[in-house]
């Protein structure tokens, strides 16, 4: 083995004390950095384009001249979108739905996962099986719709929060995390007189911030981005989240011209300016983007901790 050069980086040293990185490893790291930078650029590009478009003049977008830098800089579209009361109504709905649904999901998933993590639980395999079953089979669209409607959930927040409250993937990750906590801690707490709920609330949960933050992120992002449940179960415009508003804006703009024959579409033709679309996209994505950096530090440890024990 050849070891050339004295420069070693911190993480490598930590992992292999006493060893210097091999040449192969350093080549790997360069290649790795190049590829990952490429991936970052590819991921970043569409976003930067959308931001640039949102700040540009519509004429430049239509003629295909806007790429990474805004042209004909103006904020008119931002003003126009923000002046639409329906946008804010939808936005408020999204915030409310996301907050409520995430809270419900966190509570339910935590309870279920904690119970499942206890080996002494009778019928544990069956309970896991029931959850996993729903990963592969679902009732189908129309039965689901009938169920939600006949429960009287239509046009309420619960139609969004309840049917998707427990994501089985999240449940299993959380279960694995709880299983990895040392049993001795809970035993000691029990000896000191805590009951099950006390153990969960005062011992287990404070130690599980990493996984809770991760779950929060997973759920919040998925509820923020979801549109289908709202579209299906809401019959009034003032109940739609911003994703449905946005989808209508974009799909409407592309659909109307492509309806074959075009008859009668004159009163239907959508001229939703490209800028307006971009602005709405930016405004919709922004909050969730802002949440990421604060939660990200929990992110890796949260998911990985569970993974070891599987």
Partner 1 sequence: MVQLSRRQLLFAAGAAAVVSVAGCSDDGDKKDLADNRAGAMDKYGVGDQFKATTALSFSMLYNNHPNYPLKDDWLFWSELKKRTGVTIEPVAVPLSDYEQKRSVLIGAGDAPFIIPKTYHPQEDAYVSSGAILPVSDYLDLMPNFKDKIEKWNLQPEIDSLRQEDGKFYLLPGLHEKPWQDYTLAVRMDILEQLKIPVPQTWDDVYNMLKAMKAAYPNVYPFSDRFGKPNPAGNLLNMLALAYGLQGAGWNFQHTSWDASAKKFVYTGASEQYKAMLDYLHKLVAEGLLDPETFTQTDDQARQKLASGKSFVISTNAQTLVNDYRPDMAKTLPNARMAKIPFPIGPAGPVNPASRLENGIMISTKARDSKNFVAMMQFIDWLWYSDAGQEFAKWGVEGTTYTKDSAGKRTLAADVDVLGLNPKGTKHLQKDFGFYNGIFAYGGRLELVQSFFSAEEMEFQKVLNARPTVAVPPPHPLSDAEREQVTLWETPLKDYVYQNTLKFILGQRALGEWDAYVTELKGKNMASYLDLINKAYDRYQKKHG
Binding site for partner 1 (CB under 8 A): 59, 62-64, 86, 141-142, 145-146, 149, 231-232, 235-237, 240, 244, 247-255, 257-258, 260-272
Distance CA 204, CA 224 (A): 28
Shortest Å distance, C-beta 303 to partner 1: 33
Q: Residue 256 has what DSSP assignment?
A: H
Residue with smaller CB distance to partner 1, 164 or 265: 265
Residue with smaller CB distance to partner 1, 190 or 253: 253
Shortest Å distance, C-beta 285 to partner 1: 18
Q: Round to the nearest angstrom and report the end-to-end CA distance of the chain.
A: 36
Residue with smaller CB distance to partner 1, 20 or 247: 247
Shortest Å distance, C-beta 220 to partner 1: 23
If you write DSSP's letter for every residue of 186-254 in order, what string do you get? Answer: HHHHHHTT--HHHIIIIIIHHHTHHHHHHHHHHHHHHHHH--HHHHHH--SGGG--HHHHHHHHHHHHH
Shortest Å distance, C-beta 277 to partner 1: 10
Residue with smaller CB distance to partner 1, 59 or 288: 59
Shortest Å distance, C-beta 263 to partner 1: 6
Report CA-CA distances (Å) from 28 to 11, 13, 31, 41: 15, 16, 5, 20
Q: Indicate the burial class of 125 (C-beta count within 10 angstroms; 0-12, 13-18, 19 or more).
A: exposed
Residue with smaller CB distance to partner 1, 18 or 260: 260
Residue with smaller CB distance to partner 1, 172 or 230: 230
138-142 long-range Cβ contacts below 8 angstroms, 24+ apart: 141/232
Residue with smaller CB distance to partner 1, 111 or 251: 251
Shortest Å distance, C-beta 156 to partner 1: 16
- Pair 105, 166: CB distance under 8 Å: yes
Shortest Å distance, C-beta 71 to partner 1: 12
């Amino acid at each position: 083995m050849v070891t050339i050069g004295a420069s070693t980086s911190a993480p490598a040293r930590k992992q292999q004390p006493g060893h210097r990185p091999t040449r192969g490893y350093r080549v790997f790291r360069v290649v790795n950095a190049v590829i990952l930078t490429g991936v970052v650029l590819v991921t970043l590009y569409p976003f930067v384009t959308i931001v640039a478009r949102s700040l540009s003049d519509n004429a430049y977008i239509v003629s295909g001249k806007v790429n990474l830098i805004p042209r004909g800089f103006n904020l008119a579209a931002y003003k126009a979108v923000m002046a639409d009361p329906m946008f804010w109504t939808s936005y408020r709905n999204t915030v409310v739905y996301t907050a409520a649904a995430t809270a419900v999901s966190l509570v339910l998933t935590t309870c279920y996962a904690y119970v499942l993590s206890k080996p002494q639980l009778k019928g544990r395999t069956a309970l896991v099986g029931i959850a996993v079953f729903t990963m592969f089979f679902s009732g189908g669209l129309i039965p689901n719709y009938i169920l939600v409607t006949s429960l009287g959930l239509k046009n309420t927040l619960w139609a969004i929060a309840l049917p998707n409250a427990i994501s089985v993937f999240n449940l299993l990750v959380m279960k694995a995390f709880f299983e990895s906590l040392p049993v001795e801690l809970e035993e000691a707490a029990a000896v000191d007189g805590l009951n099950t709920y006390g153990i969960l609330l005062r011992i287990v949960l404070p130690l599980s911030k990493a996984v809770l933050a991760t779950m929060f992120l997973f759920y919040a992002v998925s509820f923020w981005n979801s549109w289908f449940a709202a579209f299906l179960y809401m019959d009034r415009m003032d109940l739609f989240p911003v994703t449905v508003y946005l989808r209508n804006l974009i799909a409407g703009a592309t659909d109307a011209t492509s309806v074959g024959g075009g008859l009668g579409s004159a009163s239907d033709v959508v001229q939703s300016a490209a800028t307006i679309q971009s602005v709405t996209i930016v405004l919709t994505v922004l909050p969730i983007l802002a949440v990421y950096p604060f939660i990200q530090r929990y992110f890796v440890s949260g998911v990985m901790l569970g993974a070891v024990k599987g």
